[in-house]
Amino acid sequence: MSHSLPSAEFRSALPRPPRLPGRGRFGRSTMYVLCAAAVAAAAVIAAVTPAARAETTAENLVHANALSKAFRNAAEIASPAVVVVRSEAKPKKTAGRGPQRRGENPFKGTPFEGMFPDGVPEGFEFNMPDRQPSSGSGSGVIVDASGVVITNNHVVEGADVVTVELSDGREYKATSIETDPASDLAVVRLADAEGLPTATFGDSDKLEIGDWVIAIGNPFDLETTVSAGIISGKGRELGGVRRAQFLQTDAAINPGNSGGPLINLEGEVVGINTAIASSSGGNQGIGFAIPANLARWVTDQLIADGKVERAYIGVQMGPLDTRMAAKLGVKDHRSGVLVNDVVPGSPAAAAGVQELDVITAFDGQPVRGTRSLQEIVERSAIGKPHSLTVFRDGEQVTLTITVKPLPSDLAQEGGTPQRRAELGSETFYTEEFGLEVRDKTTLAEDGYAGFDGVIVDRVDEDGPAAKAGLGPGMLIRKVGKTPVTTIEQFEAALANESAADGLVLSVRTPRGNLVMLLEKD
């Protein structure tokens, strides 16, 4: 079959190809050059002999096999020390409740609640069924040949019986369990164990994003499962664990992997697998591991003392966003944390730390956020002097601070929001910032005992105060660095402030102290 070219009329209706650069002879020359280059490239490709292609393939296989061998060797080194941790909570005997009081519904919160909407009849008795036993399993890693296993706290939390099974089938009962819920770590000691295989810790601080790692554990009861990936991120924070910054990896981590090791290609433990981010409950390429250096610091104390002693400096910290950093003259909002409050009698108070200081370094280590400072401080030597670098009033100031042990009973003060003041009480309203305040003495003071300031009575819905998060019942303690105890002092302190430049307020809430920046958009 022959093919003819389109008619002239049809060809004229076709879209024209773009013109090559230049005009006339220059454009044709350019086209000739491009064609020649394409022909030359094709010739080069054609010139690659089958032998050359085979050599390239062989070289690629050498590299691939070398990586495969590295994975295999690392897994062979660490796997014998990886164990299955099985926990069991015994059934709890629930005593019969005997005669029920009239109006009391024994099935409240259950599907049978509607059977007794007005409570049970007089003299009616029932016994609650025994709470059923529960069990679970996770992973762990042996760190001492005498039978010391590291795992996650959530793997053994609430367990009455813990059994550990080695990869060779041997089983041991736990004789003691020491836990640190703040870091989600636990140490399990085994009965009558000796000569067990152990894993070696590596230096997790040397890990970089992109480094190869291997996760070993027992997901879904599939014992000694190995998966490979890379370090995807560092310094991740998880809401459920207050005192740890996590490594992020795309190595497959699933239910049952918790407590198992994350290792490097040398077979060293660089993390303890702890959690996943998943919408399905299974691996979706985002797993988290506690860095080995933190795990070792915590578990060494649990092994030696059965508890973890952390240092503290005594400040309430807040994040430093771009707007607050600009207001305080800090060039990089990622380089420091804002001091919201200094605890009286604390190491920070003795060292001269002030509210609105921005802490940028501790012992020369840069501070990148609140968890970063917390982790650096809590592992520092207690009772010894340390350097603390702060940014204050446009200048860098270096202080000397001696940290103390974190008090075991230290807790945030709580309370309920203050009630609105009585009608007729004197107030001060500022339209520019969109808030109205009253003297603290006009309100019940239980929630703010020991703190002076003025109470926020109301805020304008679309004003700077509301947009900053200020709300009724909060206590304004300072305007900038100026303490205010009456509405007259508050009014005077605002005289040289404007929403255009931004207003910094130190605020007390039932949850603690905050620093807020009020400004116009």
Q: Where are the domains of the chain?
A: 204-304, 311-405, 427-518
Please report the pLDDT score of residue 2 as a whole number. Answer: 42
The more confidently predicted of residues 37 and 477 is 477
Mean pLDDT of 261-285: 84
| pLDDT over 60 at 192, yes or no | yes
The predicted-structure confidence for 353-383, as pLDDT tens digits, reads as follows 998 899 999 999 998 888 888 889 999 999 9
Provide CATH code, domain 311-405.
Answer: 2.30.42.10
Backbone angles phi, psi at 249, to 5 degrees: -140, 155
CATH architecture of 427-518: Roll (2.30)
Beta strands in 282-420 (DSSP E): 287-291, 311-312, 315-318, 337-342, 358-362, 365-366, 385-392, 395-402, 404-405
> Which residue reads 């420091």 in tokens?
336
204-304 adopts what CATH topology?
Thrombin, subunit H (2.40.10)
What would you report as the CA-atom Rg of the chain, rounded to the nearest whole angstrom? 33
The more confidently predicted of residues 460 and 265 is 265
Please report the pLDDT score of residue 420 as a whole number. Answer: 39
Residues of the chain with pLDDT > 70, as a percent, come to 75
Please report the pLDDT score of residue 207 as a whole number. Answer: 94
Mean pLDDT of 38-59: 64
| Region of poorest pLDDT, from 36-50, 77-91, 476-490 | 36-50
In whole angstroms, what is the distance from residue 384 CA to residue 497 CA? 42
The predicted-structure confidence for 14-26, as pLDDT tens digits, reads as follows 444 444 444 444 4
| pLDDT over 70 at 128, yes or no | no
Characterize the bridge pairing of strands 404-405 and 311-312: antiparallel
Residues of the chain with pLDDT > 90, as a percent, come to 36
Please state, rounded to an integer, the average pLDDT across all residues of the chain: 79
| pLDDT over 50 at 246, yes or no | yes
Please report the pLDDT score of residue 21 as a whole number. Answer: 47
Mean pLDDT of 260-281: 87
The catalytic site residues sit at 154, 184, 258
Q: Do domains 204-304 and 311-405 have the same CATH topology?
A: no
In whole angstroms, what is the distance from residue 52 CA to residue 49 CA? 5
